[in-house]
């Protein structure tokens, strides 16, 4: 299987950026960005889609941590 | 003797003044040892022109040995001694530093035995005498490898523009020997820069190279397209012309940081080669 060359990589990154913009606008509501997502999934290899989805999760989590969210507090509250 | 000298000095100073006023007759009458047995005024500083042996010079000058000259000599030799001790301490510190650095570097030998993107066998020995910037990645990498390699190429282009800086050779070594054939690697590196050399090999050779650089790599699960992502250490390694690992740069370092770091290492290396102590 041949790897995605520079041009294909750039197309994939652009479609990913468009998808993420749509998510930011709609407030992370996947239902509102289905079309963009379909295009994104055709432009990028499925492994990359998985990778970028994970990356988005991570970036969102990082943002919450920077705003003062403490994941351990949640765990403490649910236990008690 | 010291006491008598100090009391005599003001006396003879005054006396000298008297003598200078009436020279001709006085030196015959008053046998002072500061006077010469000759007519008229004579130089008091030349001992050979008079019959009397003179230990010291008169008229405002002390002899060659005095407390002042002793102090000056002591000061000079003291400062010279201090300087020598300081320099010796610096040398010992430098030797110790090199020893420590050598111990720390032992884990990364930087050795490899691979094939370049033109199909030519290349080992780490073939690159001796050159500075190397090595990045480990794979051609199917989604975003990290392209970003890091772009950064690497930018650093090399930066350094190439500087005068008097030796050439730094960028290397790309694959962590995905199953898919990254010579042709794949050739196509991949050519898209970044003609300066970039790509290296691949069989599973054992790649595993050995990764071990020698302490690079972690692990192929992920395969999906329906038989595609997978290889998780790996994301570091750029700097190897000096002696084939020794000297520095590394992570994702957080910009191309400017890396350029500065390399310049520092180059100057350190040049200095050690032209060391005063060798």
Secondary structure letter of residue B45 according to DSSP = S
Ranges of each domain in chain A:
6-66
Cβ contact (<8 Å) for B225 and A47? yes
Cβ contact (<8 Å) for A3 and B146? no
Of A3, A5, A45, the CB nearest to B225: A45
Q: What does the block give as tokens for B165?
A: 């800086």
Question: What pLDDT is recorded for position B273?
Answer: 78
Of B188, B191, B229, the CB nearest to A47: B229
> In this predicted model, what pLDDT tens digit does every residue of B78-97 receive, in sequence order?
999 999 999 998 898 888 77
Pick among B137, B139, B142 to test the A interface (most A CBs inside 10 A): B142
Cβ contact (<8 Å) for B146 and A9? yes
Q: How confident is the model at residue A68 (pLDDT cuts 50, 70, 90)?
A: confident
Give the 3-state secondary structure of residue B49: helix
Query: Which residue of chain A has the CA closest to B227?
Result: A47
Cβ contact (<8 Å) for A1 and B191? no
SS3 string, chain A, reads CCCCCHHHHHHHHHHHHHHHHHHHHHCCCHHHHHHHHHHHHHHCCHHHHHHHHHHHHHHHHHHHHHCCCCHHHHHHHHHC
Task: Show residues of chain A in contact with B142, CB under 8 Å.
Answer: 12, 47-48, 51-52
Does B226 contact A at CB distance below 8 Å? yes
| Mean pLDDT per 10-residue segment, chain B (278 residues) | 54 64 57 51 51 55 78 94 93 78 70 96 95 96 95 96 94 96 96 96 96 94 92 95 92 95 92 67
Q: Which of A50, A35, A11 is nearest to B225 (CA)?
A: A50
Cα distances (angstroms) measured from residue B149 to each of A13, B146, B193? 17, 5, 9
Tokens 């042996």 -> residue: B53
Question: How do beta strands B236-239 and B168-174 pair?
Answer: unpaired
Give the Cα separation of B121 and B131 in Å (integer): 19
Query: Which residue of chain A has the CA closest to B220?
Result: A47
Q: Which of A74, A46, A75 is nearest to B222 (CA)?
A: A46
Cα distances (angstroms) measured from residue B166 to each of B5, B38, B127, B194, B256? 70, 78, 14, 18, 17
Question: What pLDDT is recorded for position A72?
Answer: 84
Question: What pLDDT is recorded for position A69?
Answer: 83
Cβ contact (<8 Å) for A1 and B179? yes
Cβ contact (<8 Å) for B226 and A5? no
Does B223 contact A at CB distance below 8 Å? yes
Does A1 contact B at CB distance below 8 Å? yes
> In this predicted model, what pLDDT tens digit does every residue of B25-36 receive, in sequence order?
655 555 555 545
- pTM here is 0.70
Tokens 């397209």 -> residue: B225
Task: Show residues of chain B in contact with A50, CB under 8 Å.
Answer: 223
Cβ contact (<8 Å) for A47 and B191? no
Question: What pLDDT is recorded for position B278?
Answer: 46
Question: What pLDDT is recorded for position B73?
Answer: 94
């Amino acid at each position: 299987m041949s790897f995605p060359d520079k041009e294909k990589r750039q197309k994939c990154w652009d479609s990913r950026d468009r998808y993420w913009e749509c998510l930011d606008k709609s407030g992370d509501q996947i239902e509102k960005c289905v079309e963009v997502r379909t295009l994104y999934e055709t432009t990028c290899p499925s492994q990359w889609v998985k990778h970028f989805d994970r990356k988005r999760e991570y970036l969102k989590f990082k943002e919450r941590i920077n705003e003062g969210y403490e994941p351990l507090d949640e765990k403490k509250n649910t236990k008690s | 003797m010291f006491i008598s000298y100090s009391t005599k000095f003001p006396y003879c100073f005054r006396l000298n003044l008297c003598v200078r006023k009436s020279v001709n007759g006085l030196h015959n009458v008053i046998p002072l040892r500061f006077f010469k047995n000759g007519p008229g005024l004579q130089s008091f500083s030349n001992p050979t022109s008079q019959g009397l042996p003179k230990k010291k010079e008169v008229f405002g000058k002390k002899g060659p040995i005095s407390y002042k000259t002793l102090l000056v000599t002591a000061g000079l030799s003291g400062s010279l001694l201090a300087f020598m001790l300081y320099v010796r301490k610096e040398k010992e510190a430098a030797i110790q530093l090199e020893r420590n650095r050598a111990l720390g570097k032992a884990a990364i030998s930087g050795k490899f035995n691979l094939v370049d993107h033109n199909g030519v066998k290349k080992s780490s020995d073939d690159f001796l005498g050159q500075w190397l910037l090595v990045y480990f990645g794979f051609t199917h990498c989604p975003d990290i490898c392209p970003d890091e390699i772009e950064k690497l190429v930018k650093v090399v282009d930066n350094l190439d523009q500087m005068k008097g800086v030796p050439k730094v050779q960028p290397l790309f070594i694959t962590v995905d020997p199953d898919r990254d054939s010579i042709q794949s690697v050739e196509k991949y590196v050519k898209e970044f820069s003609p300066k970039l050399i790509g290296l691949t090999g069989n599973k054992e050779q790649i595993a050995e190279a990764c071990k020698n650089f302490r690079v972690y790599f692990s192929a992920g699960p395969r999906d329906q397209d038989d595609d997978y992502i290889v998780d790996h250490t994301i570091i750029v390694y700097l190897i000096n012309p002696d084939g020794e690992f000297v520095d590394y740069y992570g994702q957080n370092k910009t191309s400017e940081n890396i350029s500065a770091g390399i310049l520092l290492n180059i100057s350190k290396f040049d200095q050690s080669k032209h060391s005063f102590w060798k």
